[in-house]
Each structure stands twice: as C-alpha cells, then as structure tokens.
Amino acid sequence: MIKALFFDVFGTLVDWRASVARESAATLAPRGHDLDWLAFATAWRGQYQPAMEKVRSSARDYVKLDVLHRENLVAILPAFGVRDLPEATIDELARRAWRKLDAWPDVVEGLRRLREKVLIAPVSNGNISLMADLARHNGIGWDAILGAEIAHDYKPNARVYDAACAAFDLPPGECAMVAAHTGDLLAAATRGLKTIHIARPDENGPGRGEARPAAPVDIAARDLLELSGMLPL
C-alpha cells in the first residue's frame, strides 16, 4: 500500500522550458538582447546534469541548486553574445527564472486530489527555498519539502531517495517516486521505492520528451489526474 508519493518537479510537474525562456526574455530583452529564448532555456538546462555530477561524484561539496543555476547561467551567456551583464542582474535572473515555472495543466488539481489519499512531497534536486517559491507560484500544497537539500546530495544518488523515505518514517516499499524521467525511476527502484511514470511528451520541445517509460515501471499514467483515479494502490 503506497502511503507517500514523491515527485520529481522540473519537467514532471512544471514546464521549465517555456517558463525559463519567458523569464529570461523578460530580464534580457529590455537590455537589448534578442535571442532564441527557447534555445537559451535549453542551453541553461543543458548545464544541469554536468554541474550536479561534481557533487554526486564527491568532486565538490553539496551546494544548493540555486548556486549551480547561477554558475550555469554565467557559463552559457558568452555563447549567446550576452556580455557585461551586471552581477545583480545575473543574481536576479538566476534566482527568479527557476522560481516562476508554470505547472502543466493537470498538476495543481491532480496534486490536490492525490493529497486527499496519501502524503505528497517534492523529491527534486531543487533546494527548499526554490521549491517553496514554486509551490506558491502555482498554488500547490505539500506535506513537506524533501529532496536534495535534506540529503545533501543529488538524484539519482541513493541518498536522496533514502532520506525522503526516512523523513516520512516509511519503508521504501510504501513510497512511490513519480517522474517523467525513466532514469529517476530506475534509481528509485534500486532503493526499493515503487515507480510511477507520467507522460510529458513535449518537455524538451514538441515531441521531445518521454511519452512513455523507457523501461518497466510499476505504473504509467498519462497525467496526475489519471493517476489520482488509480489510487489507492
């Protein structure tokens, strides 16, 4: 019996690509920059895994994702011809862009229904303050904010899944990881969690996302509304 659902956030619950593009344009266009904003968002996100890998491999101590987002922004600006941006503007853009991500249409109501049945928490690589602001932006109510910051490590390292189950005092078999990314689910499965795949076929652009899991999972659902109809599990 599943008693808690743990949610991946970027891509699974929120459309980071369109939202980061919009927020980047809002900051940079008034300064005279005319970029391919979706490409800019994709490039920024492209630095995400290699940046976290340094922490996962212990080459670097844990730092919040906010810190990595800022470093990653600084890394891609030259390739887009953006130079001499004031430090305060970089600070503001790095922080703000990832806090104004809009949820996919099924998410707010889906989470509300799921929360009537089980505990729900984000188990994201995003830090606590980022998750709190995203929840406010979208009107999401969580039971707690778990994830990378309480584990001081990044998914898919085992510690993140283990810490989430431990925070809720639940054996992993009573917890399920919910994600649109098969890799996240496979890592959760190695720790004993159940796995639930959500289809986000357009996460990285039209037709460029996981419409279905790339490996066997316990449940595959179209969206959170469909999932809420499947519980209790």
Question: Using an 8 Å Cβ cutoff, are 175 and 152 in contact?
Answer: no
Task: Check residue 119 for interaction with a second copy (CB under 8 A).
Answer: yes
Least distance (Å) between residue 127 CB and a second copy: 8
Q: Tokens representing 71?
A: 């470093």
Cβ of residue 142: shortest distance to a second copy, in angstroms? Answer: 8
Among 60, 136, 208, 212, binds a second copy (CB under 8 A): 136
The distance of closest approach from Cβ of residue 16 to a second copy in the complex, given in angstroms and rounded to an integer, is: 20
Q: Taking the chain, what is the end-to-end CA distance rounded to the nearest angstrom?
A: 6
Counting contacts by CB under 8 A, is residue 62 touching a second copy?
no
Nearer to a second copy by Cβ, of 132 and 211: the residue is 132
The contacts of residue 169 (CB under 8 Å, 6+ apart) are: none
144 touches a second copy by CB under 8 A = yes
Give 119's contacts (C-beta < 8 A, 6+ positions apart). Answer: 3, 4, 5, 143, 144, 168
Of 163 and 180, the one with the shorter C-beta distance to a second copy is 163
Give CA–CA dist 86/90, Å, rounded: 6
In whole angstroms, what is the distance from residue 126 CA to residue 58 CA? 18
CB of 3 to a second copy, least distance (A): 11
* Cα-only R_g, the chain: 17
- From residue 73 to residue 102, the character string flagging contacts with a second copy as x (rule: CB under 8 A) and all else as - is ------------------------------
- Of positions 18, 38, 132, 225, contacts a second copy by CB under 8 A: 132
**Binders in 148-177 for a second copy, by CB under 8 A:** 149-150, 167-169
Residue where the block lists tokens 């904010």? 145
